[in-house]
Structure 1
Amino acid sequence: MNRYSRFLSTLYVLTSGLLAWTAVLQYRYGPLWAGLLFTAAGLVPTVAVVRESVIGDQERALAELAAGPRRPGERVADAIVHAEFGAACCERWWTSLGTDHDAACAHRAPRSSAA
Protein backbone atom coordinates (compact mmCIF):
# COMPACT_ATOMS: atom_id res chain seq x y z
CA MET A 1 0.00 0.00 0.00
CA ASN A 2 1.20 3.48 -0.74
CA ARG A 3 0.74 6.47 1.53
CA TYR A 4 -2.50 7.52 -0.13
CA SER A 5 -4.02 4.05 0.36
CA ARG A 6 -2.89 3.96 3.99
CA PHE A 7 -4.41 7.39 4.60
CA LEU A 8 -7.71 6.30 3.02
CA SER A 9 -7.71 3.06 5.02
CA THR A 10 -7.11 4.97 8.24
CA LEU A 11 -9.93 7.35 7.36
CA TYR A 12 -12.22 4.40 6.59
CA VAL A 13 -11.41 2.69 9.89
CA LEU A 14 -12.01 5.93 11.80
CA THR A 15 -15.33 6.43 10.03
CA SER A 16 -16.34 2.86 10.72
CA GLY A 17 -15.50 3.26 14.41
CA LEU A 18 -17.52 6.45 14.70
CA LEU A 19 -20.48 4.84 12.96
CA ALA A 20 -20.22 1.86 15.32
CA TRP A 21 -20.24 4.21 18.31
CA THR A 22 -23.29 6.00 16.89
CA ALA A 23 -24.98 2.61 16.42
CA VAL A 24 -24.34 1.75 20.06
CA LEU A 25 -25.85 5.06 21.16
CA GLN A 26 -28.87 4.46 18.96
CA TYR A 27 -29.39 0.96 20.35
CA ARG A 28 -29.28 2.34 23.88
CA TYR A 29 -31.22 5.60 23.55
CA GLY A 30 -32.83 5.76 20.13
CA PRO A 31 -35.06 3.76 17.88
CA LEU A 32 -33.99 0.25 16.91
CA TRP A 33 -34.21 0.95 13.18
CA ALA A 34 -31.66 3.76 13.49
CA GLY A 35 -29.26 1.43 15.29
CA LEU A 36 -29.61 -1.12 12.51
CA LEU A 37 -29.05 1.58 9.91
CA PHE A 38 -25.84 2.80 11.56
CA THR A 39 -24.63 -0.79 11.95
CA ALA A 40 -25.09 -1.39 8.23
CA ALA A 41 -23.44 1.95 7.41
CA GLY A 42 -20.47 1.00 9.59
CA LEU A 43 -19.79 -2.03 7.39
CA VAL A 44 -19.38 0.05 4.22
CA PRO A 45 -15.99 1.55 5.20
CA THR A 46 -14.79 -1.95 6.10
CA VAL A 47 -15.51 -3.05 2.54
CA ALA A 48 -13.57 -0.01 1.33
CA VAL A 49 -10.50 -1.07 3.36
CA VAL A 50 -10.64 -4.52 1.76
CA ARG A 51 -10.96 -2.87 -1.66
CA GLU A 52 -7.87 -0.73 -1.03
CA SER A 53 -5.87 -3.82 -0.07
CA VAL A 54 -7.01 -5.65 -3.22
CA ILE A 55 -5.99 -2.67 -5.35
CA GLY A 56 -2.59 -2.68 -3.64
CA ASP A 57 -2.16 -6.38 -4.40
CA GLN A 58 -3.05 -5.79 -8.04
CA GLU A 59 -0.56 -2.95 -8.30
CA ARG A 60 2.17 -5.16 -6.82
CA ALA A 61 1.36 -7.95 -9.27
CA LEU A 62 1.45 -5.47 -12.14
CA ALA A 63 4.84 -4.16 -10.99
CA GLU A 64 6.19 -7.73 -10.83
CA LEU A 65 4.86 -8.41 -14.31
CA ALA A 66 6.44 -5.23 -15.63
CA ALA A 67 9.77 -6.17 -14.04
CA GLY A 68 9.65 -9.73 -15.36
CA PRO A 69 11.24 -11.04 -18.55
CA ARG A 70 9.98 -9.57 -21.80
CA ARG A 71 10.79 -10.12 -25.42
CA PRO A 72 13.20 -7.57 -26.96
CA GLY A 73 11.39 -4.33 -27.80
CA GLU A 74 8.19 -5.33 -25.98
CA ARG A 75 6.52 -2.60 -23.94
CA VAL A 76 5.01 -3.15 -20.48
CA ALA A 77 1.47 -2.85 -21.87
CA ASP A 78 2.28 -5.52 -24.46
CA ALA A 79 3.60 -7.82 -21.74
CA ILE A 80 0.39 -7.38 -19.75
CA VAL A 81 -1.80 -8.16 -22.76
CA HIS A 82 0.36 -11.18 -23.59
CA ALA A 83 -0.01 -12.50 -20.03
CA GLU A 84 -3.79 -11.99 -20.08
CA PHE A 85 -4.13 -13.84 -23.38
CA GLY A 86 -1.99 -16.61 -21.95
CA ALA A 87 -4.33 -16.91 -18.95
CA ALA A 88 -7.29 -17.79 -21.19
CA CYS A 89 -7.41 -21.56 -21.43
CA CYS A 90 -9.22 -21.94 -24.77
CA GLU A 91 -10.95 -19.98 -27.53
CA ARG A 92 -14.49 -20.81 -26.42
CA TRP A 93 -13.67 -19.74 -22.85
CA TRP A 94 -12.44 -16.41 -24.16
CA THR A 95 -15.45 -15.74 -26.40
CA SER A 96 -18.07 -16.95 -23.91
CA LEU A 97 -16.77 -14.75 -21.07
CA GLY A 98 -15.48 -17.70 -19.08
CA THR A 99 -18.60 -19.88 -19.11
CA ASP A 100 -17.80 -22.60 -21.70
CA HIS A 101 -14.77 -24.65 -22.74
CA ASP A 102 -13.70 -26.34 -25.95
CA ALA A 103 -14.06 -30.12 -26.10
CA ALA A 104 -10.26 -30.53 -26.02
CA CYS A 105 -9.73 -28.05 -23.16
CA ALA A 106 -8.03 -29.48 -20.07
CA HIS A 107 -9.85 -27.02 -17.77
CA ARG A 108 -13.38 -28.28 -18.38
CA ALA A 109 -14.55 -26.73 -15.09
CA PRO A 110 -16.14 -23.27 -15.55
CA ARG A 111 -13.88 -20.38 -14.67
CA SER A 112 -14.97 -16.98 -13.43
CA SER A 113 -15.01 -14.16 -15.93
CA ALA A 114 -14.61 -11.50 -13.23
CA ALA A 115 -11.89 -9.02 -14.09
Structure 2
Amino acid sequence: MTRRMHRLLYVAYSALFTWLAVCAVQAAIHHVPWACAVFVLGSALAVVAFMRESALDDALRRTPIRAEREARPPAATDASDDVVAVALAAACCEQWWASAGTDHDPTCPNHQHRSNA
Protein backbone atom coordinates (compact mmCIF):
# COMPACT_ATOMS: atom_id res chain seq x y z
CA MET A 1 0.00 0.00 0.00
CA THR A 2 2.70 2.49 0.94
CA ARG A 3 4.72 1.64 -2.18
CA ARG A 4 1.65 2.44 -4.28
CA MET A 5 1.19 5.73 -2.40
CA HIS A 6 4.83 6.70 -2.94
CA ARG A 7 4.57 5.97 -6.65
CA LEU A 8 1.39 8.03 -6.88
CA LEU A 9 3.13 10.95 -5.16
CA TYR A 10 6.13 10.61 -7.51
CA VAL A 11 3.80 10.87 -10.48
CA ALA A 12 1.93 13.83 -8.95
CA TYR A 13 5.15 15.72 -8.16
CA SER A 14 6.50 15.04 -11.65
CA ALA A 15 3.28 16.26 -13.27
CA LEU A 16 3.26 19.36 -11.06
CA PHE A 17 6.89 20.10 -11.94
CA THR A 18 6.16 19.70 -15.66
CA TRP A 19 3.07 21.93 -15.51
CA LEU A 20 4.86 24.66 -13.55
CA ALA A 21 7.84 24.54 -15.93
CA VAL A 22 5.50 24.96 -18.92
CA CYS A 23 3.80 27.88 -17.15
CA ALA A 24 7.21 29.45 -16.44
CA VAL A 25 8.17 29.20 -20.12
CA GLN A 26 4.84 30.72 -21.20
CA ALA A 27 5.27 33.57 -18.70
CA ALA A 28 8.78 34.22 -20.04
CA ILE A 29 7.51 34.22 -23.64
CA HIS A 30 4.78 36.74 -22.77
CA HIS A 31 7.27 38.96 -20.88
CA VAL A 32 5.81 38.57 -17.41
CA PRO A 33 9.00 38.14 -15.31
CA TRP A 34 7.32 38.09 -11.90
CA ALA A 35 5.04 35.21 -12.95
CA CYS A 36 7.98 33.38 -14.52
CA ALA A 37 9.88 33.67 -11.20
CA VAL A 38 6.89 32.38 -9.24
CA PHE A 39 6.49 29.38 -11.56
CA VAL A 40 10.24 28.60 -11.42
CA LEU A 41 10.12 28.74 -7.62
CA GLY A 42 7.05 26.48 -7.60
CA SER A 43 8.72 23.95 -9.87
CA ALA A 44 11.82 24.01 -7.63
CA LEU A 45 9.59 23.27 -4.64
CA ALA A 46 8.06 20.34 -6.54
CA VAL A 47 11.58 18.94 -7.08
CA VAL A 48 12.33 19.35 -3.35
CA ALA A 49 9.10 17.54 -2.47
CA PHE A 50 10.01 14.73 -4.89
CA MET A 51 13.45 14.33 -3.28
CA ARG A 52 11.98 14.45 0.24
CA GLU A 53 9.47 11.75 -0.67
CA SER A 54 12.32 9.62 -1.99
CA ALA A 55 14.29 10.05 1.26
CA LEU A 56 11.20 9.22 3.31
CA ASP A 57 10.57 6.10 1.26
CA ASP A 58 14.17 4.95 1.82
CA ALA A 59 13.94 5.62 5.57
CA LEU A 60 10.68 3.70 5.85
CA ARG A 61 12.23 0.74 4.05
CA ARG A 62 15.35 0.76 6.25
CA THR A 63 13.60 1.04 9.64
CA PRO A 64 12.14 -2.51 9.78
CA ILE A 65 15.41 -4.00 8.55
CA ARG A 66 17.40 -2.15 11.22
CA ALA A 67 14.90 -3.19 13.93
CA GLU A 68 15.14 -6.83 12.83
CA ARG A 69 18.95 -6.75 12.96
CA GLU A 70 18.94 -5.19 16.43
CA ALA A 71 16.42 -7.77 17.69
CA ARG A 72 18.59 -10.72 16.66
CA PRO A 73 20.82 -12.12 19.40
CA PRO A 74 24.53 -11.66 18.82
CA ALA A 75 26.32 -14.52 17.12
CA ALA A 76 27.70 -17.04 19.57
CA THR A 77 31.48 -17.17 19.71
CA ASP A 78 33.22 -20.49 19.50
CA ALA A 79 35.20 -20.94 22.73
CA SER A 80 36.76 -24.27 21.74
CA ASP A 81 39.78 -22.53 20.19
CA ASP A 82 40.38 -20.67 23.45
CA VAL A 83 40.06 -23.86 25.52
CA VAL A 84 42.59 -25.66 23.31
CA ALA A 85 45.01 -22.73 23.45
CA VAL A 86 44.89 -22.67 27.26
CA ALA A 87 45.36 -26.44 27.46
CA LEU A 88 48.34 -26.37 25.10
CA ALA A 89 49.93 -23.52 27.02
CA ALA A 90 49.57 -25.46 30.28
CA ALA A 91 51.00 -28.69 28.85
CA CYS A 92 54.52 -29.36 30.00
CA CYS A 93 55.59 -32.75 28.66
CA GLU A 94 54.42 -35.51 26.37
CA GLN A 95 53.75 -38.07 29.09
CA TRP A 96 51.73 -35.51 31.06
CA TRP A 97 49.65 -34.88 27.96
CA ALA A 98 49.18 -38.59 27.24
CA SER A 99 48.27 -39.41 30.84
CA ALA A 100 45.76 -36.56 31.15
CA GLY A 101 47.92 -34.74 33.68
CA THR A 102 48.67 -37.58 36.10
CA ASP A 103 52.34 -38.40 35.22
CA HIS A 104 55.36 -36.43 34.06
CA ASP A 105 58.47 -37.37 32.09
CA PRO A 106 61.54 -37.86 34.31
CA THR A 107 63.21 -34.90 32.55
CA CYS A 108 60.22 -32.61 32.92
CA PRO A 109 60.90 -29.52 35.07
CA ASN A 110 57.44 -29.89 36.60
CA HIS A 111 58.12 -33.48 37.60
CA GLN A 112 56.81 -33.91 41.12
CA HIS A 113 57.80 -36.84 43.28
CA ARG A 114 54.87 -38.20 45.14
CA SER A 115 55.44 -39.64 48.50
CA ASN A 116 53.97 -43.02 49.33
CA ALA A 117 52.40 -41.67 52.49
What's the TM-score bracket when you normalise by the shorter of the two chains? 0.5 to 0.7
- 1:50 and 1:71 map into 2 onto residues whose CA distance is 32
SS of the residue 1:68 aligns to: helix
Q: How does 1:1-115 map to 2 (within 5 A)?
A: 2-70=3-71
Q: Deviations over 1:92-112 (max 9, x none)?
A: xxxxxxxxxxxxxxxxxxxxx
Considering only CA atoms, is the larger Rg found in Structure 1 or Structure 2? 2
Shift of 1:45: 1.0
Amino acid at match of 2:17: S
Note the residue ranges of structure 1 that are not aligned, 5 or more in a row.
73-115
Q: Deviations over 1:67-104 (max 9, x none)?
A: 224267xxxxxxxxxxxxxxxxxxxxxxxxxxxxxxxx
8 Å contact from structure 1 (residues 15, 42) kept in 2? yes
Amino acid at match of 2:36: G
- 1:71 and 1:60 map into 2 onto residues whose CA distance is 18
Normalised to the residue count of structure 2, the TM-score between the two structures is 0.56
Percent identity for Structure 1 against Structure 2: 29
Cα RMSD after superposing both structures? 1.7
**Count of residue pairs the alignment pairs up:** 72
Amino acid at match of 1:53: S
- 2:8 and 2:65 map into 1 onto residues whose CA distance is 24
- Which is worse superposed, 37-46 or 62-71? 62-71
- 2:58 and 2:9 map into 1 onto residues whose CA distance is 16
Note the residue ranges of structure 2 that are not aligned, 5 or more in a row.
74-117
Shift of 1:60: 1.5
1:98 aligns to what? none
Normalised to the residue count of structure 1, the TM-score between the two structures is 0.57
Q: Which portions of structure 1, spanning 4 or more consecutive aligned residues, are displaced by more than 2 angstroms?
A: none
